[in-house]
A and B are shown apart, each in its own frame.
Chain A
């Protein structure tokens, strides 16, 4: 009996490797990665009443577990800061990325809580196999509304494809911060910018109770 069980669990393990292997194989293309992650997240949100009712905490957990591994926050932050990024020390870069990540995760998670009955359509991917920096185009469809274009800028890393910009209806959620960030750096330096992000995140954290209605 025991050996049967052992054989069975070995088989399961083997099967799961197979499945994992096929997922990895699919992800040689960036559009397959975007589709898989999107489908996975939407399946969870569709089934989760708490998230639909505005439970930000749960949405943040979901984003941190399922979405974050596919994002490159260092590059995102560099994009948002613009030219001044080169003035930052490695330590400052790390703090900036961490704080910017916290902010974006919260914003993105909150957008998930307003999910209702939209569907996502994936545009045919036009890149070459040799490309290492591409745009993956999707569209959010909603009855009675114009489709919203949602594009991801994705780059190839040794451990797979990573998103470094999200563009909603032509608006980059990352570069939209540039003016504000540049201004803050010019008046209070890189440390001032870090402080501004810290303060904002703290405010959002303390206002969390108010979000859950």
Chain B
């Protein structure tokens, strides 16, 4: 099933791209006015905390499944699963590279997608990384950020978890571009969505314990970590200028 998918996926992406540009410009127009936020903006903390407990509830079911998967699946299987979904995403990363004005990254990520889809048997093997083609991590929320769209208030949504207002829009566009959600074969689609979700949850297992121990208030620890993480992604990992001038002795 995975092997034949490459051409199909490419076709899907081309189709989506044609529809994409008008949506992107509309979004840009409506959001560009807000300034880049630096401080934490959490005006809906009450709602967010309620949703946070909802997700903690859902996680009591999801976490054991993820743990079971993590313990039962041998490493090569987990790597193959991670590679497969990572490869599907690389194509979308390349589109976002382009939208952010990074053509050489776009070429690299598009090249990764081609190499891994063809040589890496539908993306199961990450041949491109071994060839030295760096994997980037871009999504539409980051593209909006690069364009100067402000974060807006912070939200904690059911199932998908933390997103700023900008990243909520970004997520919606990412999901719309997601080839998995667009598969016509519903059982296959649902299986892929499910496996991807569990794989994602399993990859967060090591972080769980750290957060559990480190946080005084799990909600605000995760909020701050999410905001720091997203801001760093938009800077492409460049370090922040030292900001402790006011706190040094």
Contact = CB atoms under 8 A, between A and B. Distances in A.
B224 A179 contact: yes
Nearest to A149: B237
B62 to A, nearest CB: 19
A33 interface: no
Given A146-B135, A180-B220, 19 more contacts: A75-B248, A93-B249, A107-B210, A107-B213, A110-B209, A110-B210, A111-B206, A143-B75, A143-B79, A144-B83, A145-B82, A146-B86, A151-B239, A167-B232, A169-B229, A169-B232, A178-B224, A179-B223, A180-B217
Nearest to A78: B247
B206 A114 contact: yes
Given A86-B247, A107-B214, A110-B209, A144 B237 contact: no
A144 B82 CA distance: 5
Interface of A: 74-75, 78-79, 81-83, 85-86, 93, 103, 106-107, 110-111, 114, 117, 133, 135, 143-147, 149, 151, 153, 167, 169-173, 175-180, 196, 200, 204
Given A133-B242, A179-B224, A180-B216, A111 B210 contact: yes
Interface string B200-242: 0001001001100110110011011100110111010101001
Contacts of B221: 176, 180
Contacts of A79: 244, 247
Contacts of A107: 210, 213-214
Nearest to B239: A135
Interface of B: 40, 75, 78-83, 86, 126, 135, 137, 203, 206, 209-210, 213-214, 216-217, 220-221, 223-225, 228-229, 231-233, 235, 237, 239, 242, 244, 246-249
Contact of B239 (A93, A117, A167, A171): A167
B210 A176 contact: no
Contacts of A175: 224, 228
A144 B80 contact: yes
A111 to B, nearest CB: 5
B244 A176 contact: no
Most A CB within 10 A of own CB, among B135, B203, B214, B228: B214
Secondary structure at the A interface, as helix, strand, loop or mixed, is helix
Contact of B232 (A78, A82, A114, A171): A171
Contact of A179 (B40, B81, B233): B40
27 contacts: A75-B248, A78-B244, A82-B244, A106-B213, A110-B209, A110-B213, A114-B209, A117-B75, A144-B79, A144-B81, A144-B83, A145-B82, A145-B203, A146-B86, A146-B135, A149-B237, A170-B232, A170-B235, A171-B228, A171-B232, A172-B228, A175-B228, A176-B224, A176-B228, A179-B224, A180-B216, A180-B221
Most A CB within 10 A of own CB, among B86, B209, B216, B233: B216
Nearest to B244: A79
B249 A78 contact: yes
Contacts of A167: 232, 239
Contacts of B229: 169-171
CB-CB nearest 10 A-B residue pairs: A170-B232, A144-B79, A144-B82, A114-B206, A107-B214, A143-B79, A171-B228, A135-B239, A85-B247, A171-B225
A93 B249 CA distance: 10
A196 B216 contact: yes
A105 to B, nearest CB: 11
B247 A81 contact: yes
A208 to B, nearest CB: 11
Given A107-B210, A171-B232, A176-B228, A200 B216 contact: yes
A123 to B, nearest CB: 10
Contacts of B206: 111, 114
Contacts of A135: 239
Contacts of B247: 78-79, 81-83, 85-86
A117 B75 CA distance: 10
Given A82-B247, A107-B214, A144 B78 contact: yes
